[in-house]
Amino acid sequence: MVEAKALAKRFGEFEAVRGIDVHVRRGEAFGFLGPNGAGKSSTMRMIASVSPRSDGELKVLGMDPDREGPRIRARLGVVPQQDNLDTELTVRQNLHVYGRYFGLSRARVRAKAEELMEFAQLTDRADDEVDSLSGGMKRRLTIARSLVNDPDLLLLDEPTTGLDPQARHLLWDRLFRLKTTGVTLIITTHYMDEAEQLCDRLVVMDGGRIAAEGSPSELIARYSTREVLELRFPPGEQEPAVERVTDLAERVEVLPDRLLLYTAAGEAALEQAHARGLRPASSLVRRSTLEDVFLRLTGRSLVE
Amino acid sequence: MSERALTARPRARDHARVVGSWRAAWLRVEGHWTWYRRYWTSNLYSSGLQPLLFLVAMGIGFGSQVEPGAATGGLSYLHYVAPALLVAGSVQNAIGESTYPVLSGFKWQKDYLAVTSTPVTPGQLLGGQLIWVGLRLALAGTVYALIAWAFGAWLGPGVALAVLVAVATGVACAAPMMAVAATTYDEGTRFAAIFRFLVMPMVLFAGTFFPITQIPPGARWLAWISPLWHGNELARGAALGGLEPLAALGHVAYLAALFAAGGLAARHYFYKRLVV
Ligand SMILES: Nc1ncnc2c1ncn2[C@@H]1O[C@H](COP(=O)(O)OP(=O)(O)OP(=O)(O)O)[C@@H](O)[C@H]1O
Ligand SMILES: [Mg+2]
């Protein structure tokens, strides 16, 4: 569905995307994970065929965006990072007008709008101006709008930012169902649980490059340990504790508010720490997540 | 199960398509119309009735103090000023519609980004904007013409042609203004300056209220280069007669050139701003 080789994007002197290779297969959910400014949106916009590449090769749905942009866009659904709804139109009118740009008949657009408002749980707001919707409702409408042409490839740039937990879970469920009907999904996100839930495969981007690629479980196995021991100390006691635990784990990550000990056996490490007379204010043993992979690869925590 | 779902799902490749350029532009007009339908009363009021207030104040009120003379071609001031007010109103509307609303599409509302993420291209979007402005001008001009007719402001059917002139002059001004809007990245402070220092002086001095022969010869070229003067001459010619064919051709050529140059510039900057 998407084939990128040494894909690059420059803005003047600045290189936002520095030669990435991406291969997205039909029917899969593919994720871009990365800190702010990693180049995720720049990549998404190139795939969406609204931003010309500066270098490298790119094929979307088997076509070259430089030459067949409109034909590609006819088959894409796009959820941009920033909503760009027509705020002076009603919810329903937004769907109608947008759908028409895809050459859909009035009847089709009308039927589709009802279906999508149901999907986004906005039916009771159908005739309200978009201006009067809450942020999360606008987001839901943007997502609904992206489906108006029944896209073969759906691009979601941080789709659930601003959604409440219930709406997020609902969206995951809907996206999962779309996937089972054969729609290919490309998602960028800051939420590790979202990536783990939704993505079959993902890449971690940092500074315009791909730092790692694989399925969530592969990445965890490759870049982290089975378990993680989290230790929180009272203020001032963390620093002296660091060197007393370094040999208890394969790797120790020092965060501002806690220590992360990467080890195959978390409980055992905790016992040893206690045996050495360390008295953390609280401790937690958990499984590794993508968050840990991310921390390892980028040296940054995702949740700021 | 998933096999069945795969075949049952409607798919973009089967029914979504790239529409032709004119059709794409027209769809943009359709989008605007959806909006206009909800707000047409207030819009028509400000765009069609405002020039009428001028007509009443200047043509009938002030005009009652003006003797028909050489400057008015022997006509009453109402007849003299009515066609020009039509064009001047049209030009002001056109420029208004091509500044903040266009900048908003790029910057605040960002709905231009939404449009160009569909098969519609920036060029087609621009085309739609220009057609839309033209249609609004036609509607406002028609309303103005009808009511002015009730005041006895017209001498004959030439007024229909004058409405066309007003639309053409407006659209010719809209094209370069859209280019300006597409290159505006701040809050649009320059628009206020354009209104104050270009549009208003043009309305006052480019032959709307008095012939430009009253302007000192050294400054007359300022009127000659203003699109409104060309529109005023054409509209008066259409409504009142007495315009040389060659002069008419020159005015039309000027407006056409402005439209072409402005349109090309706007197209260039629409692409530059939307395809990054
Ligand atoms: N139009 C532009 N002009 C200049 N620089 C840009 C432009 N768009 C993006 N950049 C720069 O490119 C880099 C990557 O931006 P991008 O939006 O792709 O990051 P991102 O991974 O989506 O980040 P975030 O998580 O914050 O959305 C940033 O440093 C940004 O400042
Ligand atoms: Mg982004």
pLDDT in tens, B195-235: 999 999 999 999 999 998 888 888 889 989 999 999 999 99
Going by pLDDT thresholds of 50, 70 and 90, the confidence category of residue A177 is: confident
Distances (CA, A) of B260 to A36, A205, B111, B132: 43, 45, 25, 17
Q: Rounded mean pLDDT of chain A?
A: 91
Residues written for chain A: 304
| pLDDT value for B257 | 98
- Cα–Cα dist B19/A102, whole Å: 7
| pLDDT value for B49 | 74
| pLDDT value for A67 | 95
Per-residue pLDDT reduced to its tens digit, A53-79 = 999 999 999 999 999 999 999 999 999
Going by pLDDT thresholds of 50, 70 and 90, the confidence category of residue B6 is: very low
pLDDT surpasses 90 at A302: no
Query: CB under 6 Å to ligand 1: residues?
Result: A 11, 14, 16, 34, 36-42, 81; B 276
User: B192-205 burial by CB neighbour count: b if 16+ within 10 A, else e?
Assistant: eebeeeebeebbeb
pTM: 0.90
| pLDDT value for A249 | 86
* Cα-to-centroid distance, B16 and ligand 2 (Å): 27
Smallest Cα–Cα separation from A138: which of B111, B20, B263?
B111
- Cα–Cα dist A25/A43, whole Å: 17
| pLDDT value for B40 | 76
Q: Which of A84, A104, A182 sits opposite B114 (nearest CB)?
A: A84
Eight-state DSSP code of residue A224: S
| pLDDT value for B65 | 80
Report, in angstroms and rounded to the nearest whole number, the Rg of chain B calculated over CA atoms: 22
pLDDT surpasses 50 at B240: yes
Q: How many C-alpha atoms does A185 have within 13 Å on its Cβ side?
A: 29
- Cα–Cα dist A288/A261, whole Å: 11
Residue nearest to ligand 1 atom 29, measured at CA? A37
pLDDT surpasses 70 at A300: no
* Cα-to-centroid distance, A252 and ligand 1 (Å): 31
| pLDDT value for B196 | 93
Pocket test of ligand 1: the residue of A10, A11, A202 to mutate, having most ligand atoms within 8 Å of its CB, is A11
Fold of the CATH domain A225-287: Alpha-Beta Plaits (3.30.70)
Do A260 and A230 contact (CB within 8 A), yes or no? yes
pLDDT surpasses 60 at B1: no
- Element spanning A130, H or E: none
Eight-state DSSP code of residue A204: E
Distances (CA, A) of B4 to A150, A180, B1, B9: 16, 10, 5, 9
Going by pLDDT thresholds of 50, 70 and 90, the confidence category of residue B4 is: very low
Residue nearest to ligand 1 atom 11, measured at CA? A16
The ranges assigned to domains in chain A are 2-214, 225-287
CATH superfamily of A2-214: P-loop containing nucleotide triphosphate hydrolases (3.40.50.300)
Pairing status of strand A76-79 against strand A153-157 = parallel
Per-residue pLDDT reduced to its tens digit, B42-62 = 777 776 677 778 787 877 888
Residue A36 three-state SS: coil
Number of Cβ within a 10 Å radius of residue A60: 25
Residue nearest to ligand 1 atom 30, measured at CA? A37
- Cα–Cα dist B144/B51, whole Å: 7
ipTM score over 0.90, yes or no: no
pLDDT surpasses 50 at B5: no
Per-residue pLDDT reduced to its tens digit, A122-155 = 999 999 999 999 988 999 999 999 999 999 999 9
Do A85 and A94 contact (CB within 8 A), yes or no? yes
| pLDDT value for B145 | 92
| pLDDT value for A304 | 42
